[in-house]
Amino acid sequence: MSGARTSTLATLRGAIERLEAGETRHAVARVELGHRGADATLQGGVVRSALHEVFAPETRQTASATAFAAGLAWRCAMSRPLLWVRQDFGPGETGALSMGGLAELGLDPRRIVMVQATDIDMALRVTADALACSALGAVVLDVWGGARQFDSVASRKLTLAAQASGITCLVLRTAAVPVANTAETRWIVRSARSRTRSPWDAWGAPQLDVALVRNRHGQTGQWIMEWMCDECLFREPSAHSQPAAATPSYRPPAPPAVAHRRAG
């Protein structure tokens, strides 16, 4: 029995060492965000079979961080269902997750499954079990507060589960401080001003101030990203938040300018 334990322990240690060294047995699959600068820094996009963290630096930035996590998870899900795990007291702290709001972002609420856990321990168990379900495309673990249970050991378990299944795991953190763990990337998200050109313009597309502060296999950076609700991708902010209307073809040409002389 002791020999079996020793063998199992050696296997786990080897898996952790390969994980920390960035070695994988399978080809790394990446998903482009659509933003050229971010995708170039990420060497083609975010890794699908990995753990990623998204932080709201203040509670008032929760909506922006949630929107970024939702868009990122949606792209990683690759047309498969998305599971969103929240603590049951989360709505009281940051507000309920609005299916109508997600629909306005271009996401299909029918492909989003919500789970409310009584505590962080249950949320971690649900997330780990969900990462073993091949029918899912991505799992979002929505954690409020410090949550000491989400430590380096818990992050290793989720990372190994994501690598084994190929399913992306995103951890959305609010009112928390980043700690050392096995996350492939860590993002800090704030809201950015939409670009409107005149008082009568409608508000522009959602824009986010996104900082990539951890990238295990590359550089970091910071960008303003515009979320395109119709295409469900991020891109560089456009010069105009709304498309400019073309000149009507039936409009008569402007008359030539005529210089007027004073009679004298």
Q: Enumerate the domain spans of the chain.
A: 34-234
pTM of the model: 0.79
- The whole-number pLDDT of residue 23 equals 45
Sign of CA dihedral 47, 48, 51, 57: positive
Q: Which residues, including other chains, have CB under 8 Å from residue 38's CB and lie 6 or more apart? A: 210, 212, 221, 223, 225, 234
- The whole-number pLDDT of residue 97 equals 85
Q: How many CB atoms lie within 10 A of CB 16?
A: 15
- The whole-number pLDDT of residue 11 equals 67
Record the tokens describing residue 103, joined without a space. 């629909």
Domain 34-234, second-level architecture: 3-Layer(aba) Sandwich (3.40)
- The whole-number pLDDT of residue 244 equals 40
- The whole-number pLDDT of residue 9 equals 64
Task: Provide φ and ψ at 213, rounded to 5°.
Answer: -100, -10
- The whole-number pLDDT of residue 76 equals 96
Q: Which amino acid is at 172?
A: L
Listed residue (240, 235, 238, 234) closest to 196, CA to CA: 240
Task: Provide φ and ψ at 209, rounded to 5°.
Answer: -95, 105
- The whole-number pLDDT of residue 20 equals 53
Positions of the chain with pLDDT under 70: 1-27, 195-204, 239-264
Region for 110 from its dihedrals, namely left if φ exceeds 0, alpha if ψ lies in -120 to 50, beta otherwise: alpha
- The whole-number pLDDT of residue 156 equals 95
pLDDT digits (tens, 9 = 90+) for 104-131: 999 999 999 999 999 999 999 999 999 9
- The whole-number pLDDT of residue 4 equals 65
Q: How many CB atoms lie within 10 A of CB 184?
A: 24
